[in-house]
Amino acid sequence: MIGGMLWSVDCTLSRFAYEEIRIVGDVLFLAVITGAFHLDGLADTADGFFSHRPKERILEIMKDSRIGVMGVLALIFCLIMKMSGIAGIKHPVSSLWFIIVPGLARTAQVVGLTLVEHVNSQNALAGNFYQRNNWTALLFCPLPVALILFLDIATGVIAILLFSLLVFGLFYFSKKIIGGITGDTLGATTEMVEAFFFIFAGLTIFF
């Protein structure tokens, strides 16, 4: 649904705005539609993980509403990567990536919520989303992948491999640092998957 709305936003801006406005407008839409919730998770995760502190202190830093240098840098580079990738998505057929990329990012969330151990949180609301071993939650995860294969078989296979390596690498890193995942690390994963695959989509024009 978010991808479909993003595709509509991009089509509209492509008709009535110059290129730079289209690119910024797409990225702004992704931030607004989620209330910048995942970007906040990215900043908190960067501040905590790169503080080089013990696990308990890392979790405290991640809960702190203030943002540090690492969080600011993570946000800047993430947004720049998204804009750079979106700039390369121009062909009508390749615009399907606007639907695919947000879908892949949310698929990563579902995989994490289903397969990865969750660090206990004081936020009871967050616990409602954890679906450990609820395999039916994975039912619709293949849909974004199927859309990539529809674009191109070879590109789809490469994208699947990269998605698997990226997502499980991020989850492994999170488990190594804090023993599992939290809402913040899931938000960070969402943003990093989006940024990576917008870059990937922009590069496919050269394939």
Dump pLDDT digits (tens) for 40-81.
999 999 999 998 888 889 988 998 888 899 999 999 999 999
Q: Are 11 and 95 in contact (CB under 8 A)?
A: yes
Please give the share of the chain, as a percent, with pLDDT higher than 70.
91
- Binned at pLDDT 50, 70 and 90, residue 155 comes out as confident
CA-angle at 24, arms to 30 and 141, nearest 5°: 30
Who contacts 197 (Cβ-Cβ below 8 Å, separation ≥6)? 85, 97, 100, 101, 104, 105, 159, 163
d(CA 61, CA 100): 33
pLDDT mean across residues, the chain = 87
Please measure the distance between the N-terminal and C-terminal CA atoms of the chain and give it in whole angstroms.
Answer: 28
pLDDT value for 44:
93
Q: List residues bridging with 190 in a β-sheet.
A: none
Per-residue pLDDT, 124? 44
Per the structure, the complete domain to which residue 9 belongs is given by 2-206
Per the structure, the count of domains in the chain is: 1
Name the token pair of 49. 């993980």
Residue range 91-104, pLDDT digits in tens: 776 788 999 999 99
